[in-house]
Amino acid sequence: MRIQLITAAAVLLLSATGAIAQTSPAAPSLTGTWRSAPDEMKLTTDFDKSVWGPNSTSVRTVELVVRSTSDATLRVVKKVVDGKGRTVPASTWIEESQLQIGEATPGVADRIEHQVTVKNAVRLFPDDPDYKFAIDGLRVKLVTFTARDGNSMEVRYDTPEGRGSFWETLTRARGATTPRTRRVDTAPSKK
């Protein structure tokens, strides 16, 4: 009787494990370029107006380029544009992170959470190309969704000091998502 009970328990356990494996969502392919819409915030304080001019706007854009199943670059560009839509000199900075994307695990509802390791992160200033500032302690999270079309993801960006942290929705860029190679014709030309 004991052997039959152990056998029945093993069959039930194996059946349940198989059912869970069959219902676990597959992680969508992340390879390609993902971009956010510009996040704009009017600069309205007297201090902002004195530094950036009247009717200035702070603009943040986010781009994630996933080159393989585990290798990616995340770029956050922040700048100030004046009332005429021109970038204010010395207002642009770029935070660029090299990421390693790991295992995908099911989250709440239709969420798939991707493990991310920040390998390297720096803050760059295009107006001073020799200056780089390391961003130690940056944390990034990526989430995709099984019940959507596979062309959107969420990025959570947590700076070590907390200031400048955000979450943003990215959409897959249309068009070519992988570098194209040029075809070289090796046949002899006819003249």
Residue 72 · residue 58 · CB < 8 Å: no
pLDDT in tens, 30-57: 999 999 999 999 999 999 999 999 999 9
- Kindly tell me if the per-residue pLDDT of 65 is higher than 70: yes
Q: How confident is the model at residue 3 (pLDDT cuts 50, 70, 90)?
A: low
Domains and CATH numbers, the chain: 27-172 (2.40.160)
CA atoms within 13 A on the CB side of 13: 6
> What is the rounded distance in angstroms from the CA atom of residue 91 to the CA atom of residue 75?
16
- Confidence check: pLDDT of 124 > 60: yes
Which pLDDT band holds residue 2 (cuts at 50, 70, 90)?
A: low
Query: Is the pLDDT score of 183 beyond 50?
Result: no
Pick from 161, 69, 162, 75: nearest CA to 116: 69
| pLDDT tens string 68-101 | 878 999 999 999 999 999 999 999 999 999 999 9
